Amino acid sequence: MPKQLSLEDAMLEFDEIRIQNLNARFDYLTKGMDDWKMPITATIPVAHLNEYRDACAYFTGTELYQTYCNGDGTMNVAAKGYYMMGE
């Protein structure tokens, strides 16, 4: 039988999983970059756009937007990056 979690423990576990997912998506967006705070350009799966948008907003405070639809289930995206937050 699975262990019963308290509501607080379940929320903490959910937050940990959410942060791990955000980290994984952001690591993909910034793969090969020398400085993650610089403007971002990447190619991502269209189906996961919102997850990548959430990760970009969480870490940089800037919006990830589509620059080109490749027609193969992927799209090119860009964001201003952390240094441009608030502009």
In a domain, 1, yes or no: no
In angstroms, the CA 68 to CA 74 distance is: 9
Please say if the pLDDT value at position 9 is more than 90: no
Q: Answer whether residue 2 is part of any domain.
A: no
Q: Which of 20, 19, 13 is nearest to 4 (CA)?
A: 13
Structural domain harbouring 70 = 7-84
Burial of 79 (C-beta count, 10 Å sphere; 0-12/13-18/19+): buried
| pLDDT tens digits for range 15-32 | 788 899 999 999 999 999
Q: How far is CA 1 from the centre of its chain?
A: 35
For residue 77, tell me if it sits in a domain: yes
Whether the predicted model's global pTM rises above the 0.75 cut: yes
Total tally of structural domains belonging to the chain:
1
